[in-house]
């Protein structure tokens, strides 16, 4: 709002965006046409208590951001080329905040962690860490 030459980034989880304060901030950014704001949503569809669609369904997520006045794109959050293209596009859109919906898999690459809510915010013990590292080879 101060017209400073700064870019703002906010990385959020899909469970986190179920909170009202997120949508209040989203409305505010669009209302003031803050085109220096970029929201990145890690959309892995799993939160601490279970699948997001069972806790509080977010679909259609991209349309929600668009309806709040954001320029919104969806990418494969595991594809670095897609992410780089998205970040390159950020800054070219004027008079709208920018949202990137990054579709991901929780625990990707570690079979016993993939999509498993029990690994939300939990550090692996030594045995689990070794198994995870073996799985990533």
- Domains of the chain, CATH where assigned: 8-104 (3.40.50.970)
Peptide bond into 60 cis (omega under 30): yes
Q: Sign of torsion, CA 89 61 56 48?
A: negative
Give the contacts of 95 (CB within 8 A, at least 6 positions apart): 33, 35
Burial zone of 70 (CB within 10 Å; 0-12 exposed, 13-18 middle, 19+ buried): buried
pLDDT digits (tens, 9 = 90+) for 58-108: 999 999 999 999 999 999 999 999 999 999 999 899 999 999 999 999 999
- The pTM assigned to this predicted structure is 0.92
The mean predicted confidence, pLDDT, of the chain is 95
Q: Report the alpha-carbon distance of residue 122 to residue 119 in Å, rounded.
A: 5
Which of the 8 DSSP states describes residue 16? G
């Amino acid at each position: 709002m101060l017209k400073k030459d700064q870019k703002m980034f906010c990385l959020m989880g899909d469970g986190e965006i179920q909170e009202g304060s997120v949508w209040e901030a989203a409305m505010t950014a669009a209302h003031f046409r803050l085109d220096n704001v970029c929201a990145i949503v890690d959309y892995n569809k799993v939160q601490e208590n279970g699948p997001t669609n069972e806790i509080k369904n977010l679909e259609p997520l991209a349309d929600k951001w668009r309806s709040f006045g954001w320029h919104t794109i969806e990418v494969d959050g595991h594809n670095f080329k897609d992410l780089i293209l998205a970040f390159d596009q950020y800054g070219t859109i004027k008079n709208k905040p920018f949202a990137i919906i990054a579709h991901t898999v929780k625990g990707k690459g570690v079979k016993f962690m993939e999509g498993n809510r029990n690994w939300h915010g939990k550090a692996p013990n030594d045995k689990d860490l070794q198994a995870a590292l073996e799985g990533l080879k």
